[in-house]
């Protein structure tokens, strides 16, 4: 079911970790951002769009993680975009003969049989200097950074005051760092600074996973994420409900401990920031 969060901006929430697919209405169709997880959900979303009389005019993937680069035939053959680095990253993965096996290990078992792989990652990289998505609708500014995944982009729907954050600024997930990057801590803190520069223009923030938040929650989530990342950097214990005894997902404390371990190994091996 689509839920309106601002004028011309709607969200579909998946059963899988509260994943959010975002619909931005344009003149002759919609921009579909991170379109979904299961084939059933995406078919239902396509049906909802037909009910609105709104075909898909363009798609966009905020980053190259498998759950953000899916597609469904019912959306049609609209152009699908990502940043140049995002597209290069998923293209590199798909160049491996065993790419399906690599992804299979990350798929949630309860949904795996209904996750379509046939059009995964078929996105075109926008020019590196692109600052907005090319489509006939509200201006959607690309805020590219390197936190969480290569070529990650948040999107600011300027006329609506909506920030689509990708896999950041979640109320249910703590920051997941890109631990293969040269400077995962620095990259994350830099991205949070970018979000602060647009905070005055935002009335709603849509995370890739979790609840949609208002303007005040945007700043609160930036503050909470910064505190978490700084504690990771310093090796401290974060005062963060997302990784504590009452964590919203039981496996999050394990991910937190894994991130601490990987950062300690980087430091020991001389690859710390």
Q: How confident is the model at residue 219 (pLDDT cuts 50, 70, 90)?
A: very high
Q: Rounded to an integer, what distance in angstroms lies between the CA atom of residue 175 and that of residue 260?
A: 12
Residue 35 near residue 75, CB atoms below 8 Å? yes
At 53 the pLDDT is 92
Q: Residue 207's beta-bridge partner residues?
A: 166
Contact 12, 36 (CB under 8 A): yes
**Model confidence pLDDT, tens digit, residues 227-271:** 999 999 988 888 899 998 889 999 999 999 999 999 999 888 875
Q: What is the mean pLDDT of the chain?
A: 93
CA 102, 144, 149 angle in degrees (round to 5)?
A: 20
Contact at 8 Å (CB) between 185 and 233?
A: yes
212 and 12 Cβ atoms separated by less than 8 Å: no
Tokens describing residue 1: 């079911």
Q: State residue 271's pLDDT score.
A: 59
Give me 158's structure tokens.
């300027």
pLDDT, residue 50, reads: 93
Contact 210, 173 (CB under 8 A): yes
Nearest to 209 by CA among 19, 73, 69: 19
Nearest to 103 by CA among 122, 88, 81, 121: 121
CA distance 162 to 60: 16
What is the residue extent of each domain of the chain? 2-130+138-268
Task: State the alpha helices, DSSP H only, in 56-120.
Answer: 84-94, 99-104
Fold of the domain spanning 2-130+138-268 = Metallo-beta-lactamase; Chain A (3.60.15)
Q: Which residues contact 79 (CB under 8 A, 6 or more apart)?
A: 58, 59, 124
pLDDT tens sequence across 147-173 = 999 999 999 999 999 999 999 999 999
Q: What is the pLDDT of residues 93-127, one digit of tens each?
A: 999 999 988 898 888 888 888 898 889 999 999 99
């Amino acid at each position: 079911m689509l839920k309106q969060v601002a004028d011309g901006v709607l969200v579909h929430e998946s059963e899988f970790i509260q994943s959010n697919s975002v619909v931005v209405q344009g003149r002759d169709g919609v921009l579909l951002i991170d379109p979904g997880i299961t084939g059933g959900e995406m078919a239902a979303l396509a049906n909802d769009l037909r009910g609105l009389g709104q075909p898909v005019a363009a798609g966009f993937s905020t980053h190259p993680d498998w759950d953000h680069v899916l597609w469904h035939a019912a959306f049609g053959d609209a152009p699908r975009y990502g940043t140049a680095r995002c597209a290069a990253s998923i293209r590199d993965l798909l160049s491996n003969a065993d790419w399906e096996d690599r992804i299979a290990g990350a798929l949630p078992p309860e949904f795996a049989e209904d996750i379509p792989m046939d059009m995964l990652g078929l996105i075109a990289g926008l020019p590196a200097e692109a600052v907005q998505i090319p489509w006939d609708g509200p201006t959607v500014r690309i805020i590219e950074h390197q936190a969480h995944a290569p070529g990650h982009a948040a999107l600011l729907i300027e006329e609506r005051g909506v920030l689509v954050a990708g896999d950041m600024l979640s109320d249910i997930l703590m920051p997941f760092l890109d631990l293969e990057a040269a400077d995962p801590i620095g990259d994350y803190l830099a991205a949070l600074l970018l979000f602060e520069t647009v905070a005055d223009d935002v009335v709603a923030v849509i995370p890739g996973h979790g609840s949609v938040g208002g303007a005040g929650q945007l700043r609160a989530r930036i503050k909470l994420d910064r505190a978490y990342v700084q504690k990771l950097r310093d090796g401290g214990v974060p005062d963060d409900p997302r990784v504590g005894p009452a964590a919203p997902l039981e496996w999050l404390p394990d991910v937190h401990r894994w991130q601490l371990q990987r950062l300690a190994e980087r430091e020991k091996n001389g690859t710390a920031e």
